[in-house]
Amino acid sequence: MIRFLTANGIRLRDPRDPRPILRALNDDDLVALALSARARAIVTGDKDLLRHPGLHPPAITPRSACELLGLL
């Protein structure tokens, strides 16, 4: 997984003043970053993100991400 992420990942600057949409303000940065990167999903184990209705991009578990990438 580390090799895959190193080969395929990109680095972006943290977004400025993300729009508040989640309970945990630190998570708003993550959602704003995912949006700016045009991510298809946020991979997390954070239950608040996973349960947030209508989150875009959607939050998925690491296991789901591995399944989507054909790593399992």
Any domain includes 11: no
The predicted model gives 43-64 an average pLDDT of 93
As a whole number of angstroms, the distance between CA 33 and CA 1 comes to: 21
Any domain includes 8: no
Which pLDDT score, from 0 to 100, does residue 25 have? 67
As a whole number of angstroms, the distance between CA 6 and CA 43 comes to: 16
Whether the predicted pLDDT of 69 surpasses 90: no
Exposed e or buried b per residue across 2-16, where buried means at least 16 C-beta atoms within 10 angstroms of its C-beta: eeeeeeeeeeeeebe
Any domain includes 3: no
Any domain includes 2: no
Tell me how crowded residue 68 is: count the other CB atoms within 10 A of its CB.
Answer: 13
Task: Print the domain residue range for 37.
Answer: 19-68
Q: How many domains does the chain have?
A: 1
pTM for the whole thing? 0.76
Whether the predicted pLDDT of 72 surpasses 90: no
